[in-house]
Amino acid sequence: MTRKILVEGLGTFFLMLTVGQVVLSPGAGAFGPLAVGGVLTAMVYTAYHISGAHYNPAITIAVFVRGKATVHELIGYIICQLVAASVAALIVLWMKQGGPLTLPDLDLPRALAAEFIFTFALALVVLNVAFARGIESNTYYGLAIGVTVMAGMYAVSSISGAAFNPAVTVGSYILGGLGGMDAVLYGIVQLAAGVAAAAVFGILDMVDDEPTARGVSEQPGFEPPAKP
């Protein structure tokens, strides 16, 4: 349990550190989403076999709702994720040696809708690549998760800042990119999106889907050739 929690903190730390470095001036510009998606992909492959590589309270709560995490894991993961993101944000401020971000002039309903939609998409992708039997033992799970975040950042970063993660939301608040009440609302919406994704995953019974592509030997009516 302790190892799982520490690994969650480590992955969340590097995720938030990268987010902060690419958005705080001088940032990475149009390459920022590539960096964030890349480090998330790497961290997922690094520790999926240990903790599940959530790095996101919205993912943790989605996994919990699906019955794949205990209450102790839920609490431990989320606390460690929030602490790790906070520490990473403080280190970014120190490394950049500059002032915090300027608070954006958000259109809050649009921003919250963007956060819900892409947090939902991220959680649904994670649940599918982690638990759907039709694609179990796949090797692309980390890439699928990282690309989802990258796509979301390109799509709605100008609307909401593209956090999709309550831990990143806390880090963004520390960096000055979100006001206190906005951060609270972001966190609520993101957690709600995680719960909604878990519900949809269950309603559509995605966990029991059969593979859509089968090898020749798995096709109905296949008969192996006779031995000579």
Taking the C-alpha atoms of residue 182 and residue 222, their distance in angstroms, rounded to an integer, is 59
Return the closest-CA partner of residue 85 out of 54, 111, 114. 54
Give mean pLDDT, residues 33-53: 95
Is the pLDDT at 4 greater than 70, yes or no?
A: yes
- The larger pLDDT score, comparing residue 1 to residue 188, is at 188
- The larger pLDDT score, comparing residue 180 to residue 212, is at 180
Percent pLDDT > 70 in the chain is 89
Q: How confident is the model at residue 157 (pLDDT cuts 50, 70, 90)?
A: very high
The CATH superfamily label for domain 2-210 reads Glycerol uptake facilitator protein. (1.20.1080.10)
Q: How confident is the model at residue 219 (pLDDT cuts 50, 70, 90)?
A: very low
Is the pLDDT at 5 greater than 70, yes or no?
A: yes
Record the pTM. Answer: 0.88
Q: What is the pLDDT of residue 139?
A: 80
Q: What is the pLDDT of residue 94?
A: 93
